[in-house]
Amino acid sequence: MVTETANTARRGRMAAIAAWLRLRRGVIAVTLLFALFACLTFFIKLPQSRQWDADVSRFVQRADTPLLTTLCEGLTALGTGGGLLILSLPVGVWLWRTRRPVGAILFPLTVAGHAINIAVKALFNRPRPGVDDHVLVILAAQGSSFPSGHAQAATLFFGFLAVLIAIHVRTRRARHVLIAAAVVVALAICYSRVYLGGHFLSDVVGGIAAGLICLWGWTQFYRRFAAQEFAPQASNNTGSSDG
């Protein structure tokens, strides 16, 4: 009897811990992202970090082909503020026409990820890859290198697009395909920045971490001030049909 009581109490404690973790998983995730970003800010100050980053860049650039270069230049153009704004217009129209006005307004504003990045870069002022690093600069860029503005903006933009898809697209198969496509495009933009010699890998990872932090805040704002727009989520979770 004592053993059964102890096991029951242990299971109760584990269930309470699991429930607490579910409630706090967003806060925990953001805390870990801040910790990752902080670690990267220390990493880029290490004397060896630039050499390690340059080694990765040279490895990525071994795949240099005219076709891949053209593709990466197109991806980088897509990841600019203008490219993302153009891409946001049809999604904004779709959200507006389906009576999700807050989402329709917030989604184009994710392009502000580039503006946020400018402020963050000013704190670090890290030089971009160059001849001294023996890295081929295929497409030159101006300004500080850490964190990558393209990576931060793409993570925020396509991450919020994935959130909107998860909430508002009813068909499970379509949700999965569209979310996967959004993730692939965001990662491809990040890859293009290293391939083209515009950023080091640590710059891109820092941009992704900063973008995910912004994405969490953006999503919480949307959830809090447009709770009614989250109503279709219940039908998405229960409607498992692929028809």
CA-based radius of gyration for the chain: 21
- Look at the alpha carbons of 118, 137, 211, 49 in this order and tell me if their dihedral is positive or negative: negative
The token pair at 106 is 């917030």
pLDDT in tens, the chain (243 residues): 545 565 555 555 565 555 555 557 777 788 888 899 999 999 988 889 999 999 999 999 998 899 999 999 999 999 998 899 999 999 989 889 888 888 888 888 888 878 888 888 888 888 999 888 889 898 888 888 999 999 999 999 999 999 999 988 888 899 999 999 999 999 999 999 999 999 999 999 999 999 999 999 898 888 888 877 766 544 444 444 343
Class of domain 26-238: mainly alpha
In 3D space, the residue among 200, 37, 26, 55 whose CA is nearest the CA of residue 134 turns out to be 55
pTM of the model: 0.82
Q: In this structure, are residues 193 and 76 in contact, taking their beta carbons and an 8 Å threshold?
A: yes
CA distances from 197 to 50, 145, 215 (A): 13, 11, 26
pLDDT of residue 15: 58
